């Protein structure tokens, strides 16, 4: 039985007040405990609660590139890719829009502004993509591949963010409220469905059907759930008539250059969710939040939290960043490792990531 209200106690709230975490805080006006979670936070907690505490409560991050500690190829590549994709969907029908300028000049500016070549020789994907030129070729091929399909879509919105403005409530209680946060790349209307369109980059399609990885994933389900809630505010009723909104379009982009057919590195696949799936999504999110708060309470009391030791050597295709910390025999050993090999950085904040994208 869900019981989130029990976390509104003095000791827990005092700690929350002191910590100033971006995703959980006390609303000064109402005194309520407000939790704003996105898919990244929840996925991390589900994958390993101890990892979550290190990253999203303590803000401890492994020193990365020697000259720029803590940079993340995956995060930053995702950001520059989404900047360009959002620009494309905003402007591809403008009479003065040039695909060549977009994939050439604009991609060059974004790539160099973000200094993506700092990853050359450091991250294998920089090489697999082919650096800046490979990235530009990928964008050109993307526009070419999807142009015929895109011409049939009406673009309803791009860069649609939701979060601390409390647009998507998951739970409104007497003392506790939970909201969903995130950002949708593009919202489109194909005449039958109004739906989010998401982009996922992956290493290679040779590993199998890329959709399989996301069929049960909470992320796309969350986007459909969100769009259903936001739709009345985004689209007038007459334009919503007879449109379904239980579908998402997933665009998969293979990062590795495909020599045989450069256009085969893109797939656009639909995914559907039933009403029942959307209802159980909400309940699952709340149960996960309750578990998260339970572990957070233990962490505040200096008690251990659960560990998923299967993920220690397989954390997103590599070793977990906290492996060297958690293999220590003593607490002192853990502290020394943290002091020597980690930096303390601002904690993940969906709004900041959204602002970075913008
Ligand atoms: S090393 Fe293992 S137990 Fe420690 S945070 Fe990583 S996955 Fe969790």
**Which residue among 99, 120, 150 closes a domain?**
150
Q: Is residue 306 part of a domain?
A: yes
Strands 266-272 and 33-37: unpaired
Q: Which two tokens stand for residue 89?
A: 């969907």
In ligand 1, the atom with minimum distance to the C-alpha of 50 is: 5
C-beta atoms surrounding 89 within 10 Å: 20
33 and 58 part of one domain:
yes
pLDDT tens by residue, 229-261: 888 877 777 776 678 889 999 999 988 777 777
Q: How far apart are CA 176 and CA 5, in angstroms?
A: 6
Q: pTM value?
A: 0.88
The per-residue pLDDT for 320 is 92
Q: Is residue 228 part of a domain?
A: no
Residue in 43, 47, 48, 321 to alter for ligand 1 test, most ligand atoms within 8 A of Cβ: 48
User: Cα(327) to centroid of ligand 1, in Å?
Assistant: 9
Range with lowest mean pLDDT among 9-18, 183-192, 299-308? 183-192
**Residue span of the structural domain in which 143 resides:** 70-150
Q: Is residue 178 part of a domain?
A: no
Question: For atom 3 of ligand 1, which residue has the closest CA?
Answer: 307
Q: Which helix (H) or strand (E) holds 342?
A: strand 342-344
Instruction: List strand residue ranges (DSSP E) for 222-276, in order.
Output: 247-254, 266-272
Q: What is the largest CA-CA distance in the chain?
A: 65
The per-residue pLDDT for 71 is 74
99 and 35 part of one domain:
no
> Average pLDDT for residues 325-353, to the nearest whole number?
89
Q: In the structure, which protein residues have their CB atom closer than 6 angstroms to any atom of ligand 1?
A: 48, 50-51, 307-309, 311-312, 315, 320, 322-323, 326
81 and 134 part of one domain:
yes
60 and 79 part of one domain:
no
The per-residue pLDDT for 206 is 73
Question: For atom 2 of ligand 1, which residue has the closest CA?
Answer: 312
pLDDT tens by residue, 280-331: 999 999 999 999 999 999 999 999 999 999 999 998 777 899 999 999 999 9
Q: Is residue 233 part of a domain?
A: no
The per-residue pLDDT for 62 is 84
Q: Is residue 207 part of a domain?
A: no
Instruction: List strand residue ranges (DSSP E) for 147-240, in order.
Output: 154-162, 169-172, 176-180, 182-189, 194-202
Structural domains of the chain, count: 2
In ligand 1, the atom with minimum distance to the C-alpha of 54 is: 5
C-beta atoms surrounding 84 within 10 Å: 19
* Max mean pLDDT range (105-114, 160-169, 316-325, 344-353): 105-114
pLDDT top residue among 191 and 202: 191
SS3 content of the chain, % helix, strand, coil (to 5): 50, 20, 30
User: Cα(342) to centroid of ligand 1, in Å?
Assistant: 15
30 and 74 part of one domain:
no
Residue 145 near residue 266 (C-beta atoms within 8 A): yes
User: Cα(48) to centroid of ligand 1, in Å?
Assistant: 6
In ligand 1, the atom with minimum distance to the C-alpha of 321 is: 6
C-beta atoms surrounding 278 within 10 Å: 15
Q: Is residue 262 part of a domain?
A: no
Q: Is residue 215 part of a domain?
A: no
> Average pLDDT for residues 188-195, to the nearest whole number?
92
Looking at the predicted structure, is the pLDDT value of residue 101 above 90?
A: yes
27 and 96 part of one domain:
no
**Which residue among 89, 123, 150 closes a domain?**
150
Q: Which two tokens stand for residue 325?
A: 């910390």
Q: Is residue 269 part of a domain?
A: no
**Which residue among 99, 127, 150 closes a domain?**
150
74 and 135 part of one domain:
yes
Confidence of residue 65 (pLDDT cuts 50, 70, 90): low
User: Cα(162) to centroid of ligand 1, in Å?
Assistant: 30
User: Cα(170) to centroid of ligand 1, in Å?
Assistant: 29
24 and 44 part of one domain:
yes
Residue 266 near residue 252 (C-beta atoms within 8 A): yes
75 and 38 part of one domain:
no
In ligand 1, the atom with minimum distance to the C-alpha of 326 is: 4
Sheet holding 266-272, edge to edge: 154-162, 182-189, 194-202, 247-254, 266-272
| Structure-token match 């994709």, residue found | 85
């Amino acid at each position: 039985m869900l019981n989130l209200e029990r976390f509104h106690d003095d000791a827990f709230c005092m700690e929350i007040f002191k910590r100033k975490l971006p995703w959980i805080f006390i609303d000064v006006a109402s005194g309520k405990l407000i939790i704003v979670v996105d898919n990244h936070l929840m996925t991390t907690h589900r994958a390993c609660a101890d990892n979550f505490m290190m990253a999203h409560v303590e803000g401890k991050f492994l020193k990365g590139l020697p000259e720029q500690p803590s940079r993340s190829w995956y995060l930053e590549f995702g950001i520059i890719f989404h900047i360009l994709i959002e620009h494309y969907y905003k402007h591809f029908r403008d009479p003065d829009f040039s695909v060549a300028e977009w994939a050439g000049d604009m991609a060059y500016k974004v790539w160099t502004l973000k200094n993506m070549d700092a990853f050359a020789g450091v991250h294998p994907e920089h090489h697999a993509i082919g650096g800046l030129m490979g990235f530009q070729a990928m964008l050109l091929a993307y526009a070419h591949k999807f142009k015929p399909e895109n011409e049939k879509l009406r673009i309803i919105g791009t860069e649609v963010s939701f979060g601390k403005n409390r647009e998507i409530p998951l739970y409104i209680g007497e003392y506790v409220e939970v909201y969903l946060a995130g950002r949708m790349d593009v919202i489109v209307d194909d005449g039958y469905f109004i739906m989010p369109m998401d982009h996922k980059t992956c290493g290679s399609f040779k590993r199998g059907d890329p959709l399989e990885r996301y069929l049960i994933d909470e992320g796309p389900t969350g986007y459909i759930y969100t769009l259903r809630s936001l739709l009345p505010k985004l689209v007038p009723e007459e334009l919503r008539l007879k449109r379904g909104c239980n579908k998402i379009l997933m665009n998969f982009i293979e990062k590795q250059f495909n020599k045989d057919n450069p256009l085969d590195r893109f797939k656009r696949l639909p995914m559907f969710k039933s009403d029942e799936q959307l209802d159980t999504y909400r309940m699952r999110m709340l149960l996960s939040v309750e578990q998260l708060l339970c572990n957070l309470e233990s962490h505040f009391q200096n008690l251990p939290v659960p560990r998923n030791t299967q993920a220690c050597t397989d954390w997103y295709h590599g070793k977990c960043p906290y492996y060297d910390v958690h293999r220590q025999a003593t607490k002192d050993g853990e502290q020394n490792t943290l002091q020597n090999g980690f930096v303390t950085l601002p904690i993940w904040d969906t709004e900041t990531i959204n602002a970075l994208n913008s």
